[in-house]
Structure 1
Amino acid sequence: MTLPLTPHQTADALPYAALADEIETLLRDPGVVVPARTVQALAGGGSLFVMPAADARVAITKLITFIPDNAARGLPAIQGDIVVFDAVTGQRTALLDGPTVTARRTAAVSLLAARLLAPRTDGPLLIVGAGVQGRSHLEAFHHGLGVREVWVASRGAASADALVQHARGLGLRAQHVVDADAALAHCPLVVSCTSAQAVALRARPRTDAFVAAVGAFTPRMVEWAPEVCRWLAGQGLLVVDTRDADHEAGDLLQAGINVPGLAALADVVRDPAAHRRSGPVFFKSCGWAGWDLAAARLALRR
């Protein structure tokens, strides 16, 4: 394996459907150990994330920075690497591109959740937020679920138009919509991946909707209005990606929801039938080093 892998090489090693399969396998692996991540505040308002994880064969540490206002500098919001080691010998075996892994594993987690929980998967897919995560979720839901139509909403018209063009290049029907709240009535698949600095969605999703909310991953961040989250808790199913969301799921915490009482994705993987019910599904994703470990395991095999 080339060391380090370029962003393109990293992406090639992590096909979305195969990565979703690997994530599901990892959630069934009792040998996986994931300590709490360290988040160090930076002087400029950003954060440094240190995220280790290991199983019997592979150990990783993810080192990335998150700078919310980097778009104004012409720089990506997330930068860094995933360092991969042999857990037995301690030898470094790979260095993966951090932003690429983050984008693809986050979308693959949403894909897995949609496979297990979405009431319907035919779309249209509404993507709110046309950045890196918007693009990766578009690709994951197209390749993994067969989505053929996408609607894109974003504060920036240029970024929305660029994502629409990318979707059309993949052979999808695609359009830029200005009012994300109005679009919710037409789209049974929804991905919110904004910068989560303020509420972006105030309308209720459809009763047959699957929502993957990925933008807010700290208690202070938020994408969905609190009253919508409370309605979802009463009318449908709320699931979090891991128990780390108990203290990180900003949308749900700000709505006063008892997050520790919600099912996590591992619970759904172990018993999908027990978590299927009528009504909308809201999947809250906050991130976890285990997803990066799954990406490293897949990359090493490929």
Structure 2
Amino acid sequence: MPRFLDARATAQALPAAAVAQEIAALLVDRSVQVPERLVQALPGGGSLFVMPALDGHIAITKLITFTPANAGTERPTIQGDVVVFDAATGQRVLVLDGPAVTAQRTAAVSLLAAQRLAPSADGPLLIVGAGVQGRAHLEAFAAGLGVREVHVASRTVQSAQALVDHARALGLHAQVAADADAVLARCPLVVTCTPASQVVLRGPVRDDAFVAAVGAFTPKMVELAPALCRDIAARGRIVLDTPDARHEAGDLLQAGLEVGTLPTLRDVVAGDVRGGGPVLFKSCGWAGWDLAAARCALRA
């Protein structure tokens, strides 16, 4: 019988630092195959995502729904599962909570990028967006980078304060930022993880800034002002999580940037990305990251 892990057990099986290491290993594993994902529109404005991936040992399918209309309600915006199969026998061996996998592996991808690219990796850290992804990135950057100081900006003071309280419980120095742009001069590490329905960061950022933008994963979604994206492109580097982001990264597409030749995280792991100035890491998601999480969970 397969193991079924609920949200808490899934998160416990996927510490960000371990998943980041697995992602780096996956990016040089030639047995990995990741077919194009299916995105099916649903009545009411939601979407169904079907995301398969496999390597020489396991095959996975991530089945999740994304329902923006659930924001602000008791229902989560992301729901679903990651099903893991033995590639040789076809047996289902593990079922993981889909939203927990998404949170942990997305934060781990950002962590790996920051470990390899951030000029000032120990912070302070600004988090814009105090939801599930904000919490996952807070924990990942604290554990994986040694960040000790955090500023949190959110649509409501209550949600920002809740994440600040969690940060303080972890032993961090944390405070609410009423204006995200106002604290950019103090924060070389920045994560934006909002519903991406509007611009939440306008800049400018520091010369040693590392910005991980994870909220916008369709061409119409946006978190970063177009001028901010163009400024980082002129002064530093923009790196994508995968080539798929070239047609999904709303922040960059709406800024009118040429995205076809931008390097990816695979290039970073291979040591092919160099240069100075601020870094924008644009993450849109990929089933390969879920495969890395599944590999990590199976060992756990």
Could you tell me the TM-score, scaled by structure 2's length? 0.98
The residue that corresponds to 1:184 in the other structure is 184
Matched to 2:285, the amino acid is: G
In structure 2, the residue corresponding to 1:290 is in which secondary structure? helix
Matches within 5 A, 1:127-142: 127-142=127-142
Q: Distance in 2 between matches of 1:166 and 1:68?
A: 25
* Identical columns (%): 68
In structure 2, the residue corresponding to 1:140 is in which secondary structure? helix
Matched to 1:87, the amino acid is: A
Q: Distance in 1 between matches of 2:48 and 2:97?
A: 16
In structure 2, the residue corresponding to 1:51 is in which secondary structure? strand
Deviations, residues 210-260 of structure 1 (Å, cap 9, x unaligned): 000000000000000111111111110100000010110000011111112
Q: Distance in 1 between matches of 2:143 and 2:245?
A: 27
Matched to 2:80, the amino acid is: G
The residue that corresponds to 1:280 in the other structure is 278
Q: Distance in 1 between matches of 2:218 and 2:170?
A: 33
Matches within 5 A, 1:1-302: 3-271=3-271, 274-302=272-300
Deviations, residues 142-192 of structure 1 (Å, cap 9, x unaligned): 000010010000011111000000000000000001100111111000000
* Structure 2 stretches lacking a partner, 5+ long: none
Matched to 1:188, the amino acid is: P
Q: Distance in 2 between matches of 1:72 and 1:121?
A: 33
Matched to 1:255, the amino acid is: A
Matched to 2:282, the amino acid is: K
The alignment of Structure 1 onto Structure 2 pairs a total of residues equal to 300
Matched to 1:296, the amino acid is: A
Matched to 1:80, the amino acid is: G
Q: Distance in 1 between matches of 2:96 and 2:78?
A: 14
Greater alpha carbon shift after TM alignment, 194-203 vs 286-295 = 194-203
Q: Distance in 1 between matches of 2:130 and 2:115?
A: 23
Could you tell me how far 1:2 is from its partner in structure 2? 6.4
Matched to 2:65, the amino acid is: T
In structure 2, the residue corresponding to 1:158 is in which secondary structure? helix
Q: Distance in 2 between matches of 1:69 and 1:142?
A: 31
Could you tell me the TM-score, scaled by structure 1's length? 0.98
Superposition RMSD in Å: 1.0
